[in-house]
Amino acid sequence: MADDEVILLDYWVSMFGMRVRIALAEKEIKYESREEGLLALGNKSDLLLKMNPIYKQIPVLVHNGKPVCESLNIVQYIDEIWNDRSPLLPSDPYQRAQARFWANFVDKKVTVPPRGGLLWGNGEEQEAAKNGLLETFKILEGELGDRPYFGGETFGFVDISLVTFSCWFRAFEMFGKFSIEAEFPKITEWAKRCMQRESVAKSLQDPQKVYEFVVEYRERLRKRLGPE
């Protein structure tokens, strides 16, 4: 695998791209990162359109010229290809199924939709999205319980699926007017624990920068789409 060519089509603030960055860092894989344009507002490269013609989204992992799409799918692929080190999914089939269930739950419920919702929406729509997110965090706080990581003692697939949202927590808090630390102390401690890993710390972005991105992006969306 020493001569592998690995390219990641990414966007700096993407929580989905960050998942792949963490997995590659855990496996110590060297790769080239290619930054796409400001995604929902255009500027997609020809390479992205060619490599992900169905969804036209990042992240895409291009491994020896072949594309793999969808962040959780990519993380599983990385785990299977570079299976000689730092396993990300449990080896036990039941535990693997559980890990996939919870990562899928995160994917469905901890969302930042391209329009509307908590970050880009207003009024009742924003309030409903906030309440949904609080409900989701309550479930996740219960699932984590007193364990250090979602898989138990070791950092893994479910942690990767969720931790990339932690640099978006500040934006969630500012727009939702709530405190994740006050309401979800276990998730807060877990996120800090994950950040102690080099793979996570170097893959995530500064929460303040993410918040500023959200403020600016809301403005761009408003100008492009008009007031809601």
Ligand X SMILES: N[C@@H](CCC(=O)N[C@@H](CS)C(=O)NCC(=O)O)C(=O)O
> Binding residues for ligand X, per CB under 6 A?
11, 14, 16, 39-40, 56-59, 70-72, 114
Q: How far is the CB of 148 from ligand X (least distance, A)?
A: 25
Q: How many Cα atoms occupy the beta-carbon half-sphere of 103 within 13 Å?
A: 25
The one-letter amino acid code at 127 reads E
Q: Which is nearer to ligand X, 165 or 175 (CB)?
A: 165
Q: Which is nearer to ligand X, 168 or 190 (CB)?
A: 168
Q: How far is the CB of 9 from ligand X (least distance, A)?
A: 9
Q: Which is nearer to ligand X, 106 or 180 (CB)?
A: 106
Q: Which is nearer to ligand X, 68 or 144 (CB)?
A: 68
Estimate the crossing angle of helix 123-144 against helix 185-195, to 10 degrees. Answer: 70
Q: How far is the CB of 177 from ligand X (least distance, A)?
A: 24
Q: How far is the CB of 35 from ligand X (least distance, A)?
A: 12
* Residues sharing a CB contact under 8 Å with residue 181, sequence separation 6 or more, in sequence order: 188
Residue 66 sits at φ, ψ, to 5 deg, of -105, 130
Residue 45 sits at φ, ψ, to 5 deg, of -75, 160
Q: How far is the CB of 76 from ligand X (least distance, A)?
A: 12
Q: Which is nearer to ligand X, 50 or 138 (CB)?
A: 50
- Cα 141 to Cα 16, 146, 208: the distances in Å are 21, 9, 24
Q: 107: closest CA among 142, 76, 71, 143?
A: 71
Q: Are residues 75 and 92 in contact, defined by beta-carbon separation less than 8 angstroms? A: no
